Amino acid sequence: MSERLAANRFELDEEESHIHVDQALCRSTGTGAALVAVCPAGVYSERDGEILVDYAACLECGTCRAVAAPGALTWHYPRGGFGVTFREG
Amino acid sequence: MTEAVEPDFDVIVVGAGPAGSVAAYRLAQQGLSVVLIERGEAPGSKNLSGGVLYGRVLDQVFPGFADEAPVERRITRHVTTFLTPDSAVSLDFRSDRLAEPVNAVTVLRARFDPWLASKAEEAGVFLMAGVRVDALLTEPGPDGSPRVVGVRAGEDELRARVVVAADGVNSFLARDLGLRRTEPTNHLAVGVKTVLRLPRAVIEDRFGLTGGEGAAHAIVGDCTLGIGGGAFLYTNTESLSLGVVLRLDDLVRSGRTAIEVFEHLLEHPGLAPYLRDAQVTEYGSHLVAEGGAAMVGTIATHGMVVVGEAAGLTINSGLTVRGMDLAIGSAIAAADAIVEAVAAGDVTASGLAGYRRRLEAGFVLRDMATYGRAPKFLERTGMYGAYGELAADVFHGVFGLDTTPRRHLLGVARRALKESPVTVRQLISDGWAGVRAL
Ligand SMILES: Cc1cc2nc3c(=O)[nH]c(=O)nc-3n(C[C@H](O)[C@H](O)[C@H](O)COP(=O)(O)OP(=O)(O)OC[C@H]3O[C@@H](n4cnc5c(N)ncnc54)[C@H](O)[C@@H]3O)c2cc1C
Ligand code: SF4
């Protein structure tokens, strides 16, 4: 998985993450487990009941946002010029 | 008060995918001033698709585009494969009729989208890349509902007579204005794709191709581990596009991860002969809208139209995902309607109503209606598992000569059906639903 992502080019926005989770809502709505399951980049993982977010690996598909319960996840595109750059597509 | 503010451009187009670039080109060609805003550092750098472009509609805009644009291969062979854990049953359609005139080509978006955007620039469009539009600028419209007057990107505001939302499947613009609701997860699928490098000659040998010919393999069954969706394997000039499309409701229900399903595909013995020694050069993902006509909501409002996948214009027939051609078709319709509205001095929803009229008259909304039943049909799970097994059993009965006396094909089929979880009734009912849906 990580070797496949290594072939990609990412421009990391050091100043701000484009993904924020509400831990309590992620737990109570089951969103946390869904995020871990659907993300093709493995951005989300769970440790001791907390959802960890490795936003630098995001492929910007928006799948996480589509499965999240209202309020559990705030996701938008990274700022212009940041994030993944596809060279093939 | 703000009425007095002169717009900076006639039209602002947000998103330089096929929908945005074609709309911008066509608007500029008809004399309007146009800015095309793209969040990626270059057009195409954020975009990903399976890559089969049904090109006839683009030919209307750029006649003979396939000779000039960076296209990969001309598809002359469509293979449909039902995969089980240990068998593959394929239907192989090859025809010279697919080659002339060119019906479909493969494209890689990071190369193709910049070409489309450059055509728009040549026509006079001002391209702003690396800029994310954050919000729409609105004012109260004639009937109290908001009228779009421009966009905001960071600190900057740009004003125009009309905004074209060509911002793709996640369309924040259409959503923020309430034109699109939150989609139910059975109307969305996640596409996970990799590009695999192989020498040109190896691709042509393995896929039975010569020269610039290409093959498109659609795969259903075990490749998705029973999750609603399918897989594709398309040939580029010197690489393969391999991916899986998974319906979100089913993926979440399955308890599996998208990564796990993708890895299963990558390592599937049924695909191994095609993929041997290929090098991963890229890995990406993207959502697919597959809610059919039901997903297309309001596409024209005061001062704004929504085009391409931002308007939900994608068709997943189960064997192909089509979106680029619909995006281009909708862009043509929208551009012509905007030219008309600007000339008439009425860019309200009713002034822009010519957009939907054109879509309904052309192939875009007609095809959306024709395939309107496909989403429901695809939810019938038989398509994904049991039918592949059934077909494999029938062919095994015919070709698996184990010195027992053979039966007639009909007998083989009857017996396979008897042993399969598929019932005759279900077969007939699904068959009928399929004929009506596809
Ligand atoms: C796995 C997969 C396989 C597919 N296979 C095929 C296929 O074989 N054939 C086919 O025809 N279709 C296929 N599709 C569908 C096709 O990719 C889409 O329908 C098509 O790209 C839609 O074009 P568009 O121009 O509407 O949107 P997009 O191509 O998504 O373009 C939207 C653009 O807007 C930009 N943008 C978004 N938000 C902003 C913002 N706020 N500010 C500035 N810019 C913004 C994006 O960066 C992007 O460049 C596939 C899709 C997937 C996911
Ligand atoms: S946008 Fe896609 S890649 Fe990024 S975190 Fe969400 S699911 Fe993962």
What's B96's DSSP letter? Answer: G
Residue B259 belongs to domain with CATH number: 3.30.9.90
Do B15 and B135 sit in the same domain of this protein?
Answer: yes
**pLDDT over 70 at B376, yes or no:** no
Of A4, A65, A85, the CB nearest to B41: A85
Phi, psi at residue B180, to the nearest 5°? -120, 135
User: Count of domains in chain B?
Assistant: 3
* A37–B283 C-beta distance less than 8 A: no
Evaluate: CB of B312 within 6 angstroms of ligand 1: no
Q: Is B257 in the same domain as B131? A: no
Of the residues B256, B289, B322, the one at which a domain ends: B289
Q: What percent of chain A has pLDDT over 70?
A: 99
**Between these two residues, B5 and A14, which has the higher pLDDT value?**
A14
Closest residue on chain A to B47 (Cα): A89
pLDDT at B184 over 60: yes
Report the C-alpha gap between B4 and B60 in whole angstroms. 39
Domain with B414, as residue range(s), is 385-437
| B197 interface with A at CB cutoff 8 Å | no
Spacing, Cα B232 to ligand 2 middle (Å): 21
Q: Where are the domains of chain A?
A: 18-77
Kindly indicate whether the ipTM for this predicted assembly is greater than 0.90, answering yes or no: yes
Domain C-terminal end among B289, B307, B329: B289
CB contact under 8 A, B259 and A77: no
pLDDT at B437: 65
Q: What is the rounded average pLDDT for all residues in chain A?
A: 94
Q: Where are the alpha helices (DSSP H) in B235-385?
A: 248-254, 258-266, 272-275, 324-344, 354-361, 363-370, 374-378
In a domain, B355, yes or no: yes
The Cα B59–Cα B348 span in angstroms is 31
B43-89 tens-digit pLDDT:
999 999 999 999 999 999 999 999 999 999 999 999 999 888 888 88
Residue A86, min C-alpha distance to chain B (Å):
5
**Domain assignment of residue B94, yes or no:** no
Q: Is B353 a member of any domain?
A: yes
Domain A18-77 coded CATH 3.30.70.20: yes
Chain A residues close to B110, C-beta within 8 Å: 86-89
| Domain assignment of residue B80, yes or no | no
Question: Which B residues in the span 162-181 are in contact with A, Cβ-Cβ below 8 Å?
Answer: 169-170, 172
Whether residue B132 sits in one domain with residue B25: yes
pLDDT number for residue B1: 43
pLDDT at B2 exceeding the cut of 50: no
Q: Which of A61, A65, A67 sits opposite B285 (nearest CB)?
A: A61
* Cα separation, B113 vs B239, whole angstroms: 18
pLDDT confidence bin for A50, thresholds 50/70/90: very high
pLDDT, tens only, B208-245: 999 899 999 999 888 999 899 999 999 999 999 999 99
Q: Which chain A residues are closer than 8 Å to B263 by Cβ?
A: 1
- Ligand 2 pocket, residue A58 CB under 6 Å: yes
Q: Does B190 touch chain A (CB under 8 A)?
A: yes
H or E segment at B228? none
Q: Is the dihedral of CA B280, B78, B362, B365 positive or negative?
A: negative
Chains A, B: CB pairs < 8 Å: 125
Does residue B75 form part of some domain? Answer: no
Residues B282 and B258 in one domain: yes
As a whole-number percent, the residues of chain B with pLDDT over 70 amount to 93
| B235 is a domain residue | yes
- Chain A, 23-42: which have a CB under 8 Å from a chain B CB? 34, 36-42
Of B309, B311, B319, B310, the closest CA to residue B377 belongs to B319
Identify whether residues B285 and B296 lie together within a single domain.
Answer: no
Mean of per-residue pLDDT scores for chain B? 90
* pLDDT tens digit sequence for B405-429: 767 777 877 887 788 777 777 777 7
According to DSSP, the β-strands at B52-54 and B104-106 are antiparallel
**Span B124-133, mean pLDDT?**
98
